[in-house]
């Protein structure tokens, strides 16, 4: 297909405008944030991870000229904080930001110690009640 024809087609323009909006969101200031200066001389620079997806489509309908066009587009953007660069007295350190568990298994593993404590307290309570029952 001819490239000049692509540029004039409504689907191409739809995709172009959608991607342009995503570019506005995904500039370098979103990934590496502006430095934050604290009163005690520490500089913090936020670092983020950005993920995005773009989709669009459309079609020409009818046999009359000009044909009718129907289409749509969409984009999704996800920004996750990853770390902070800290600078104090010429020393730079990376402070990672904990990312929440990604899957059900991760959540269960994270909750396991708390769950074990609750089960243990429950069993101790039942044992104490049984010992206090009259014989």
Q: SS3 string of 51-102?
A: EEEEEEEEEEECCCCCCEEEEEEEEEEEEEEEEEEEEECCEEEEEECCCCCC
Question: What pLDDT digit, counting tens, does each position of 84-113 carry?
Answer: 889 988 888 888 887 665 666 666 767 777
Give the separation between CA 71 and CA 8, rounded to whole angstroms: 15
Does residue 6 have a pLDDT over 60?
A: no
Scored b (16 or more CB within 10 A) or e, 5-35 reads: eeeeeebebbbeebeeeeeeeeeeeeeebee
- What pTM was estimated for this model as a whole? 0.47
pLDDT, tens only, 42-66: 999 998 888 878 777 777 777 777 7
């Amino acid at each position: 297909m001819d490239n000049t024809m692509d540029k004039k087609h409504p689907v191409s323009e739809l995709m172009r405008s959608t991607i342009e909006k995503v570019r506005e969101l995904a500039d370098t200031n979103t990934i590496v944030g502006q430095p934050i200066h604290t009163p005690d001389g520490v500089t913090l620079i936020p670092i983020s991870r950005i993920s995005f997806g773009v989709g669009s489509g459309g079609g020409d309908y009818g046999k009359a000229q000009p044909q009718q066009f129907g289409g749509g587009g969409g984009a999704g953007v996800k920004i996750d904080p990853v770390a902070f660069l800290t600078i104090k007295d010429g020393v730079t350190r990376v402070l990672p930001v904990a990312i929440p568990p990604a899957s059900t298994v991760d959540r269960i593993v994270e909750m396991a110690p708390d769950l074990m404590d609750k089960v243990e307290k429950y069993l101790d309570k039942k044992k104490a009640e049984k010992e206090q029952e009259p014989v």
